[in-house]
Chain A
Amino acid sequence: MKDYSAEELWKKAKKNLPKGYQIPDPEMVKWMNVKKDKTSKPLSRKG
């Protein structure tokens, strides 16, 4: 049996997430932008 429903969890999560919390992780977005600059061709979907 689950102790928390998804709705309860989401409410709790939103309340507890720090100010400025972002999805996706800004570090990951930054990395992507650097990666894009390094490669002129679009990313493949391999891997």
Chain B
Amino acid sequence: MNVKILIATSFRIPGGGIWTFVRHLKNQLELKGHEVDIFGQSPELNDYHLYNKNQTFDKLPFRNFLIRILGKDDFVTNNRILNAEINRYCFEFVTASLNLAQYDIIHAQDVIAARSFRRVKPRHIPIVTSVHGYLSGAIYYSLKTGNRNLSDEEIYQTDTYQYYKFLERIGYQSSDLIHTSSRWMRNNITNRFSVKPDKIVTFPYGMDIKELQQYPQGISSQIQKPKNKKVILTTSRLVYLKGIHDLLDSLERLKQERDDWVCWILGDGEMKKELEEKACQLGLNDRVFFLGTTQYVGYYLQQADIFVLPSLQENQPFALIEAQLFGLPAIVSDSHGLPELVQDGETGFIFPAGDSKKLYSCLTEMLEKDTLRIQMGERAKKWGEQHWSTRSLLHDVENLYQRAIQLA
């Protein structure tokens, strides 16, 4: 049975891991004859858009109206909460005008969108939510970035943290079924938010790297792998929870021991300047290159020798999936969902999150042992091709939709 699906997120699209998932899923669903619309914030954050229909909806005119209403409420104790609430209700005004009754399924890509749809959709349309990340955990690290002197307990007591934790809770409650890609996320939801396990379906993402293998010729003028050096690559937002500061500490040690490597850092974020300064202070300017964001990540993956992900919080990152499919061995932290993706000693190495000494040891071993590194990469590719099949993803998602329609 073919269905019409609205895939929607409260975050920006295109861009980031959600977009990678949504793009692949849309392609697969349409090949099978389903109809798919994609909705989210535009990259400039001023509009919402129905991406595939090229329709935009201005959210700014609603702001003053909402500020007037929300200004009176006790829980709006700071601008971050105010903005989050404004965005939530803008999302609701706009999605309510989309004629939601035309869809058989709403597939939310985050808990905030799930909560909003619960408030505006016709009762009979089911909401399934793919949970790509741990929202209040990300908020914790975001608050930590701006308030390094605060203890964990003080951060947990902030209004902002508590607001998002509650929002996350009602987002799960608002979903008829929840999809997680990792067992860690599944356990996190059941343990921290008391969601019943039978409401959660766990299956891995799917990925097709054909499009990543194509890039324009001119891109090679940007940066090339130096002769006789190995490339250590990381692809990551430059924010605290991604642990790039730990990677730099380990590279400083590595620099003292050996000269056969460079490190390419792809990505952008609020810590970019701070990390660039740190790299400079550690004397890494001639070894570590901040290359910004790119749509041609395949060019860099093709040349890299080792992929590193030193995150402090991670679910099932597409950056690692892509690296595996390109045949790269990975050194990852033991943070949350990551150990489910890397077999320690087989397809890469796992080190304790935040431990830059251990990360340094892993890098040393991988740089020293060429055969081991190459074999690990081959095993990672084989494992990845079995694990990240887009055909399996389609099968699992169709089952999820079917179950949600039956429940409704």
Chain A residues with a Cβ under 8 A of chain B: 2-6, 9-10, 12-13, 15-18, 21, 23-25, 27-29, 31-32, 35-36, 43-47
Judge if B158 is at the interface, Cβ distance under 8 Å. Answer: yes
B259 to chain A, nearest CB (A): 46
A12, A17, A46: residue with the most chain B Cβ atoms closer than 10 Å: A46
A-side contacts of B99, CB under 8 Å: 16
**Cα–Cα distance between A21 and B89 once the two chains are bound (Å):** 11
- B89-114: CB near A (< 8 Å → 1, else 0) gives 10011101101100000000000000
B252 adjacent to chain A (CB < 8 Å): no
Partner of A43 from the list B47, B65, B89, B159 (CB cut-off 8 Å) is B159
Q: Tell whether, in the assembled complex, residue B158 and residue A9 are in contact, meaning their CB atoms are under 8 Å apart.
A: no
Contact of B159 among A12, A13, A44 (CB under 8 A): A44
B80 touches A47 (CB 8 A): yes
Q: Which 9 A-B pairs have the closest CB atoms?
A: A47-B158, A6-B61, A47-B160, A12-B97, A13-B93, A16-B96, A32-B75, A3-B55, A47-B159
In contact, B58 and A13 (Cβ under 8 angstroms): no
Q: Which residue of B lies closest to A47 (CB)?
A: B158
Contact A3 B77 (CB under 8 A): no
Q: Chain A: which residue is nearest B166 at the CB level? A: A31
- Asked whether A10 lies within 8 Å of B62 as measured between CB atoms, the reply is yes
Residue of A nearest to B97 (CB): A12
Which segment of B66-74, B236-244, B397-405 sits at the interface?
A: B66-74
Whether B170 sits at the interface, judged by CB under 8 Å, is yes
Interchain nearest-CB distance for A13 vs B (Å) = 4
How many angstroms between the C-alpha atoms of A35 and B159 in the bound complex?
Answer: 10
User: Which listed residue, A5, A16, A29, touches B73 by the CB 8 Å rule?
Assistant: A29
Whether B92 lies near A17 (C-beta < 8 A) is yes
Taking A6-B61, A23-B89 as contacts, is the C-beta distance between A16 and B69 under 8 angstroms?
no
Nearest Cβ on chain B to A1's Cβ, whole angstroms: 8
